A = this chain, B = another copy of it.
Amino acid sequence: MLRGHLQPAMADDFLLKPNPTDARLSARVQGRDQTGAAVDISVVVERPLTLFLNGREIVTMMTIGDYPQYLAVGYLLNQNMLAADDEIVGVEFDAETETVVVRTKRVTDYEEKLKKKTLTSGCAQGTAFGDLMERFETVTLPTDAKLKTSWLYRLMRKINTAPSLYLEAGAIHGCVLCQGDRPLVYMEDVGRHNAVDKIAGWMFLEKSDPADKIFYTTGRLTSEMVIKTVRMGIPILVSRSGFTAWGVDLARKANLTLIGRARGARFVTLAGEGRIEYDADARAVAEEDAAARRKGARDDE
């Protein structure tokens, strides 16, 4: 094949995606099936990662362990321990001690945040130090952002067929930052909050503009998932899973386009539907999807 042939396809490639062949991310485990026969299956590995901000210990996270720098920066951003205008002068990961150190130019005010706590529901983020809603109400999402339904179907197909730890071992969440019909950055982790934080960290360090992005996630569209998407400045949020009432309320207040139950040809939009352009033939997608299922696509967990 000529290299020239690959060029148009290259523009469609992920910038970052899971590496299911990385031996550190999963383990083979022996067990028994329903008849008592021996089986050997692949399971994801969790490991501790201790985060320091300017020399002070903040938290120990359990993570699959890839992209620790993005996870660290995204965690601090989403906990309001870093501000959008904070300048990061270094992010150092040490694999042996399982630590990551983030250094900023300005002294940070995270100690105030540690005094307050809210235990939140859903998988999005276990605990928020500080006020989760902080800055939420000050965000204005771009109204001229668009989502064509043909993009949505192409995104779903690319994401669902990309090699991933989910396909390899299951029991994992995935989040994908997309632009148009292109999935850019695909992050996985045992806790969804970690996958979200890795994308937030990537966007901050790469100075990625959120205004033309689409955020795809596994798992439910809870209030917290909505708050994080809005705070990242991304105008469109999509999931295969369902909604919670408070998530819908907040999405409507923020004018976030909120799409759930996106499976095969079907999806439901409960907020910000003005950004959607219905250009795809849902019936054709349904037929294509049925054909793919017959080839043995896996169910979501």
- A125 and B247 alpha carbons, distance in the complex (Å): 20
> Is there contact, CB below 8 Å, between A245 and B46?
yes
> Is there contact, CB below 8 Å, between B60 and A191?
no
> Is there contact, CB below 8 Å, between A189 and B121?
yes
**In the assembled complex, which residues on chain B have CB atoms less than 8 Å from the CB atom of A245?**
26-27, 29, 43-46
Write the nearest CB–CB distance from A259 to chain B, whole angstroms.
9
Number of copies: 2
A260 closest partner in B (C-beta): B171
**In the assembled complex, which residues on chain B have CB atoms less than 8 Å from the CB atom of A35?**
278, 282
- A117 and B119 alpha carbons, distance in the complex (Å): 13
A-side interface size class: 35 or more
**A250-301, CB < 8 A from B:** 260-261, 265-271, 273, 276, 278, 282, 299-301
Q: Is A180 an interface residue (CB 8 A)?
A: no
A116 closest partner in B (C-beta): B60
> Is there contact, CB below 8 Å, between B117 and A43?
no
Give which listed residue, B32, B59, B273, B299, contacts A31 with CB less than 8 A: B273
Contact code string A209-251 (vs B, CB < 8 Å = 1, else 0): 0000000000011110000000000000000111111111000
Q: Is A122 an interface residue (CB 8 A)?
A: yes
- A29 and B26 alpha carbons, distance in the complex (Å): 40
